[in-house]
Amino acid sequence: MNAIAIRTGLAAALLAVGLVAGAAEKDMAPTVANAAKSVPPPVEAALRKNLAERLPNVSVDEVNRTPIPGMYEVRVGTDLFYSDAEGSYIINGEMMDTKNRRNLTEERMNKLLAIDFSQLPVKDAFTIVRGNGKRKIAVFEDPNCGYCRRFEGDLQKIDNVTVYLYLYPILGPDSIEKSKAIWCGKEKGRVWQDWMVRGVPIPHSEPCDVAALARNTEFGRKHKITGTPTLVFTDGSRVPGAIGAADIEKLLVANSAK
């Protein structure tokens, strides 16, 4: 039996377990509203106990209901998986609401991974201001990232914004060297845009304190920033990957209205 068939069979089996368990819980119709209700203490206790015994490296931080009766969301740090009430079966994957076309796992992860904009280490970024600079966005980028180059081209079209640029050299040793040269430059914003948008070589700069780069890397690891560019908006929401000018503008407008 191939891997896809095994995964499909496991998902079907766990769904069946959930439905059987749900039949005994007459008050638990499979609705999003019911998903917000508290988990019965005996179920949470059983999950914590059984998963700790069966998966020694897993420390359960939180247990929540899901819209599927008898199936529970288990959070370990910022990782999510789904389990029956006894921890006998688990699914590591995404839960989709097909009726409303929503990715429930993604929505939950977005909340877990939200970054408090006011807590960003601004001392470890440099700023690029356009127009009145009233709107704000933070971006984590690698100087050797092709997607970042495309994103920077679109970002040039956005006005009245302050960009907090965090150098995030994760693509190799050369990215680190380029980031050092940019960080130690006298006009970081100009050097960055010259390189990323216009392809102007990064000029030599005298050595300086580059501890900010290591702090950025550690911050990104802590908050699971795994790719560049990663955008962070003032409401804490984040967008991984390059998006176009229209989408950037739309998100900035939405955040300005909050």
**Which distant-in-sequence residues (6+ apart) come within 8 Å of 135 by Cβ?**
160, 161, 162, 252, 255, 256
Into how many domains does the chain fold? 2
Same domain flag for 174 and 231: yes
188-229 pLDDT, tens digit per residue, is 999 999 999 999 999 999 999 999 999 999 999 999 899 999
- Where residue 35 falls among pLDDT bands split at 50, 70, 90? low
* Domain of residue 137, CATH code: 3.40.30.10
Same domain flag for 59 and 146: no
* Domain of residue 100, CATH code: 3.10.450.70
- Where residue 18 falls among pLDDT bands split at 50, 70, 90? very low
101-144 pLDDT, tens digit per residue, is 999 998 898 888 889 999 999 999 999 999 999 999 999 999 99
Other CB atoms within a 10 A radius of the CB of residue 171 amount to: 17
Q: Whole-angstrom Cα distance, residue 7 to residue 10?
A: 5
Residue with tokens 């509203």: 33
135-173 pLDDT, tens digit per residue, is 999 999 999 999 999 999 999 999 999 999 999 999 999
pLDDT at 112: 87
Where in the sequence is the domain holding 166, given as residue range(s)? 117-256
Same domain flag for 123 and 139: yes
Domain-ending residue, one of 96, 112, 128? 112
pLDDT at 122: 96
pTM for this predicted structure: 0.73
